[in-house]
Amino acid sequence: MKYIKSLDGLRAVAIIMVMLFHFGLFDMGWVGVELFFVLSGFLITSILLKEKDKPLDIYLGRFYWRRSLRVFPLYFAYLAFLTVLYKITKEPASFPAYSKYLFTYTFNFTGFFKNFTYVHEFGHFWALAVEEQFYFIWPFLIWFLSRNGIKRMLVSLAICVPIFRYALSVYLQNHGYGLDQTGRLIYLLTPSQIDAFAYGAMIPVFGLTE
């Protein structure tokens, strides 16, 4: 896929929005994360569509090798730093409780802990977990489905995921979860975010850039 310079501007906007949100200066800054997911859906789907005609082993091997080189070095280097930091200072104090989720890209499920607290040193890892879980399932869907099948899938996700979020919200609140925790749980889960990726994927699948 050729380099698209304008996407750098969108990434910059998303980063600024998220930073302002975390500094308490822009309540809607969380939208920047959604923008990242939309961009990821667009870029990953564009790459996969170009590789779709290759045998599955080559198709998957090329994709996961590239993603690993792009994501793993910095991610695990930061986790190694946190590990050393904790060994020396015992901070962040919650690192032992969350480390297994951080190392397995499942940190977004920790919202189910009733005593969950946001930790600045690794609180943002939930979004990286969502991205990695998206990488795990999306290549298979794109390879196995026909072009029309992909279109139907994307439209179905755009319709069904908001319904899923609402139904999950009702279920959780009926089972003793408070409103704040319900919102956090739904926001952190990959199935709740998959429509953002789908919106980005619609751009190459429906030829909206042509």
User: pLDDT tens digits for 62-91?
Assistant: 999 999 998 899 999 999 999 999 999 998
- Residue 183 pLDDT level (bands cut at 50, 70, 90): confident
- Residue 29 pLDDT level (bands cut at 50, 70, 90): low
pLDDT of residue 21: 65
pLDDT of residue 112: 72
- Residue 208 pLDDT level (bands cut at 50, 70, 90): confident
Residue 16 has pLDDT above 80, yes or no: no
Give the Cα separation of 7 and 190 in Å (integer): 23
pLDDT of residue 115: 64
User: pLDDT tens digits for 134-167?
Assistant: 999 999 999 999 999 999 999 999 999 999 999 9
Q: Which two tokens stand for residue 157?
A: 């996700």
72: left (phi over 0), alpha (psi -120 to 50) or beta: alpha
pLDDT mean across residues, the chain: 87
Say which residues have a Cβ less than 8 Å from residue 96's Cβ, sequence separation at least 6: 86
- In one-letter notation, the amino acid at residue 35 is L
DSSP, collapsed to helix, strand or coil, labels residue 175 as coil
Q: How far is CA 43 from the centre of its chain?
A: 13
Residue 34 has pLDDT above 90, yes or no: no
The percentage of residues in the chain with a pLDDT greater than 90, rounded to a whole number, is: 58
pLDDT of residue 13: 72
Give the Cα separation of 56 and 208 in Å (integer): 27
User: pLDDT tens digits for 88-131?
Assistant: 999 888 888 888 999 999 998 887 765 666 677 787 788 899 99
